[in-house]
């Protein structure tokens, strides 16, 4: 099984040694996603009149998977991923990276931002793999970050989304990846991150799969706010439909003697939305709002670098809190602090490159709204 992968991992001599010791009268079956020259050589040398059973390419793609791609720069992939995840909050997702190191780094980055993510790759022992898969099936973790080899055989019905964080160079790997979703007759969606000349590889994938992969605009802060408001509306509708509102209705009726029901409902929504930071966009420039539709984001301003902070809107932190903490406690002049971009679970701050180390040291010693803050340069992630 996985004959091509065994060769890629350097097991050719081991395979030949085993086959040389097996009886002449035997059945030999090679299961392989691809048929490279080495596999054909093994078939020629160790099989007698071998028959090939092949799934034709036209049948490989999953018709129920809606396929999209984002054009990104390498250093913006993580931020775009987080925005995408915040827009698509329902169901389970599998995110693919090319290497085990890439998987581990992405899991660490996502966990630091508050996402429930775990890794699955070849370095995990079977008991660890089983534990991760159990948590994934139960929904304890929502995101599985995987390599191609480790993801083989994953069959979980309620995976709604597949993300190719690293685009696969092997065309058939793309098919196997997106096939993790839209199982058992359900629909699914896939997103592929494309950088630079990888757009040519994407076109090859389209030709190979005979399917159209649509370009998607990167979600802006306003898009995220609208999504939060829509989800809040659905929470209200679900609560109404669930019933058991008697005690609350009595309170509303009492207040409605002096105010209209619409005013009462609006006031309650305001209290909850402000507390949970739902649909609030801070007055900060969003690079994805201002960039050209067919271009990637502009870099940090000349002479500036971006610092990642592990606090965001869900911590009830505002732009002013970040600015005040860095300026006052960090003893950094406010005029030197550049653009501040806040998200649900984290924040990016631009500061002059020549004082970045000083800012980092100060921030790691302070608390913002009572929460200890982790900080690091964006380029180090």
- Write the pLDDT tens digit of every residue in 274-284: 777 666 655 44
Q: What percent of the chain has pLDDT over 70?
A: 89
Most confidently predicted of 202-206, 279-283, 359-363: 202-206
Spatial contact of 136 and 162, defined as CB atoms under 8 Å apart? no
Q: Is the pLDDT of residue 266 over 70?
A: yes
3-state secondary structure of 272: helix
Q: Give residue 255's pLDDT.
A: 93
Residue 278: predicted pLDDT: 65
The whole-number average pLDDT for the span 250-258 is: 91
Mean pLDDT of the chain: 84
CA distances to 137, 146, 160, 237 from 157, rounded to whole Å, are: 9, 17, 8, 27
**70: Cα within 13 Å, side-chain hemisphere:** 24
Residue 231: count other Cβ atoms within 10 Å of its Cβ.
13
* Alpha carbon separation from 321 to 283, 313, 315, 370 (Å, rounded): 13, 11, 11, 11
Question: In 88-220, where does DSSP find H-type helix?
Answer: 100-112, 126-138, 148-151, 171-178, 198-209
pLDDT of residue 63: 66
What's the sign of the alpha-carbon dihedral 121, 127, 130, 131?
negative
3-state secondary structure of 43: helix
Higher-pLDDT residue of 59 and 330 is 330
Give the dihedral of Cα atoms 263, 268, 272, 273; nearest 10 deg. Answer: -10
On the question of pLDDT at 290 being above 50, the answer is no
DSSP 155: -
- What span, in angstroms and rounded, lies between the C-alpha atoms of 252 and 267? 11
Considering just the CA atoms, what is the radius of gyration of the chain in Å? 26
Of 333 and 353, more confident: 353
By CB atoms closer than 10 A (0-12, 13-18, 19+), residue 224 is buried
139/160 Cα distance (integer angstroms): 12
DSSP states along 78-105 = HHHHHHHHHH--SSEEEEE-SSHHHHHH
Same fold, 60-215 and 287-380: no
**Overall pTM > 0.75:** no
Instruction: Give the pLDDT score at 317.
Output: 83
Task: Return the residue matching tokens 């004959």.
Answer: 3
CA dist 377 and 30 (Å) reads 48
Contacts of 84 (CB under 8 A, 6+ apart): 70, 163, 191, 219
User: How many CA atoms does the CB half-sphere of 16 hold within 13 Å?
Assistant: 11
**pLDDT band, residue 146 (cuts 50/70/90):** very high
At 70-119, the pLDDT tens digits run: 999 888 899 999 999 988 877 899 999 999 999 999 999 999 888 999 99
Distance CA 55, CA 61 (A): 11
Please enumerate in sequence order all residues whose Cβ is within 8 A of that of 284, keeping only pairs 6 or more positions apart, or say none. Answer: 221, 319, 339, 340, 341, 342
The pair of structure tokens assigned to 287 is: 């690079």
- What is the edge-to-edge ordering of all strands in the sheet holding 304-309? 340-342, 347-352, 304-309, 375-377
Q: Within 10 A of 273 (CB to CB), how many other CB atoms are there?
A: 15
Instruction: Assess contact for 175 and 118: CB atoms under 8 A.
Output: no
Q: What are phi and psi of 96, to 5 degrees?
A: -105, 135
d(CA 213, CA 325): 45
Domains of the chain, by residue range, sit at 3-46, 60-215, 229-276, 287-380
Q: State how far the Cα of 226 lies from the Cα of 214, in Å rounded to an integer.
A: 22
Q: Cα–Cα distance between 169 and 202 in angstroms, integer?
A: 9
CATH of 60-215 given 3.30.1330.10, 3.40.50.720, 3.40.50.300, 2.130.10.10: 3.40.50.300
pLDDT, tens digit, 9 for 90 and up, residues 228-249: 888 889 889 999 999 888 888 9
Tokens representing 279 are 């649909």
Kindly list the distances between the CA atom of residue 203 and the CA atoms of 139, 167, 206, in Å, as whole numbers in the listed order.
35, 12, 5
- Which of these CATH numbers, 3.90.1150.10, 3.30.70.330, 3.90.550.10, 3.40.50.10480, describes 287-380? 3.30.70.330
pLDDT tens digits for range 119-131 = 999 888 989 999 9
Please determine, for residue 296, whether its predicted confidence score (pLDDT) is greater than 70.
no
């Amino acid at each position: 099984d996985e004959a091509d992968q065994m060769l890629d991992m350097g097991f050719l001599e081991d395979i030949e040694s085993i086959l040389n010791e097996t009886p002449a009268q035997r059945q030999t079956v090679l299961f392989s996603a691809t048929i490279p020259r080495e596999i054909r050589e093994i078939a020629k040398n160790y099989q007698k009149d071998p028959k090939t059973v092949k799934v034709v390419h036209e049948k490989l793609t999953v018709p129920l998977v809606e396929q999209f791609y984002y054009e990104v720069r390498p250093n913006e992939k993580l931020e775009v991923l987080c925005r995408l995840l915040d827009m698509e909050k329902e169901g389970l997702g599998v995110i693919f990276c090319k290497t085990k190191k890439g998987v581990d780094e992405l899991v660490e980055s996502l966990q630091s931002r508050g996402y429930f993510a775990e890794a699955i790759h070849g370095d995990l022992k079977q008991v660890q793999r089983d534990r991760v898969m159990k948590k994934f099936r139960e929904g304890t973790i929502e995101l599985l970050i995987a390599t191609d080899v480790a993801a083989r055989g994953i069959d979980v019905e309620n995976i709604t989304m597949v993300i190719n964080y690293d685009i696969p160079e092997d065309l058939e790997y793309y098919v196997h990846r997106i096939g993790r979703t839209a199982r058992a007759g359900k629909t699914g969606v896939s997103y592929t991150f494309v950088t630079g000349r990888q757009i040519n590889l994407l076109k090859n994938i389209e030709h190979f799969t005979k399917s159209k992969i649509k370009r998607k605009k990167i979600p802006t802060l306003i898009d995220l706010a609208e999504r939060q408001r829509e989800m809040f509306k659905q929470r209200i509708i679900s609560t109404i439909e669930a019933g058991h509102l008697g005690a609350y209705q009595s309170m509303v009726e009492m207040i409605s003697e002096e105010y209209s029901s619409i005013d009462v409902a609006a006031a309650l929504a305001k209290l909850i939305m402000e507390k949970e930071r739902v649909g609030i966009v801070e007055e900060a420039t969003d690079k994805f709002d201002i960039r050209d539709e067919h271009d990637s984001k502009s870099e940090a301003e000349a002479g500036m670098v971006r610092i990642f902070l592990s606090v965001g809107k869900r911590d009830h932190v505002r732009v002013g809190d970040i600015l005040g903490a860095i300026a006052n406690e960090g003893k950094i002049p406010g005029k030197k602090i550049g653009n501040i971009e806040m998200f649900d679970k984290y924040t990016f701050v631009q500061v002059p490159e020549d004082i970045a180390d000083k800012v980092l040291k100060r921030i790691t010693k302070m608390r913002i709204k009572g929460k200890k803050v982790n900080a690091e340069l964006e380029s180090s992630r």
